[in-house]
Structure 1
């Protein structure tokens, strides 16, 4: 049987995992957005 403290600890662990995944997604999107915008810019410039 879990005590109240153990249930709270589980919630904190899930929150830490969610925050870690959110940071990972933000960093990945920043890298991808930079690559996409640069390639789009290069394509437009080369076609002009």
Structure 2
């Protein structure tokens, strides 16, 4: 019985999954922080692209 109790505390199989979870969480926080910081630039980029697409007019492409 004592050996089984020791094995529960020494066993490290779940440790790897916890580390992966922590790394994934840190990456997610970094991505959200970058997106919030660059929100104005991203919005401007999409607005410019939208304007360039609408400047072309409503012509239909010829095959």
Fold conserved (TM > 0.5)? yes
Give the structure 2 partner of residue 18 of structure 1: 24
Higher helix proportion (structure 1 or 2): 1
Unaligned runs of 5+ in 2: 1-6, 46-63
Unaligned runs of 5+ in 1: 41-48
TM-score in terms of structure 1 length = 0.60
* Structure whose CA Rg is larger: 2
CA distance in structure 2 between the partners assigned to 1:34 and 1:7 by the alignment: 44
**What does residue range 1-48 of structure 1 map to in structure 2 within 5 Å?**
5-37=11-43, 39=44
Following TM superposition, by how much is the alpha carbon of 1:35 offset from its aligned partner in structure 2, in angstroms? Answer: 3.3
TM-score in terms of structure 2 length = 0.47
